Amino acid sequence: MDISENEVTFYRHFVLADGETVAVATKSMFDMNKSVFDANDMAQSYSRNFFSATQKTGLDQLQTSQQSKNH
C-alpha cells in the first residue's frame, strides 16, 4: 500500500482486481440475515458498495487533487 493511499482506495484496488464490489464483512452479515429471516426478502440488509462510499465522501476528488499536487 502506498503511503499516500487511504484505506478505501487500497481496498478498491482489490475490488477491481477481484470483481467484488461489496465488503466481506457486509456479505457475511447479509448471509446471516438470509438464514435468520426470509431468504426471499432481501430488505433486511444492504451491502456497502466501495464505489458509492468513495463518491459520497469525495475521497476520489481529494485523492485526485493530492496526486496533481505531487506531479
Q: pTM of this prediction?
A: 0.27
Q: Is the pLDDT of residue 50 over 70?
A: no
Query: Where do runs of H (alpha helix) occur along 1-71?
Result: 7-18, 24-36, 50-57, 59-70
Positive or negative, the CA dihedral 44, 48, 52, 56 is positive
- The model's pLDDT over 17-40, given as tens digits with 9 standing for 90+, comes to 455 555 666 667 777 777 777 666
Among residues of the chain, what percentage have pLDDT more than 90?
0
- Please report, in angstroms and rounded to a whole number, the separation of the first and last CA atoms in the chain: 19
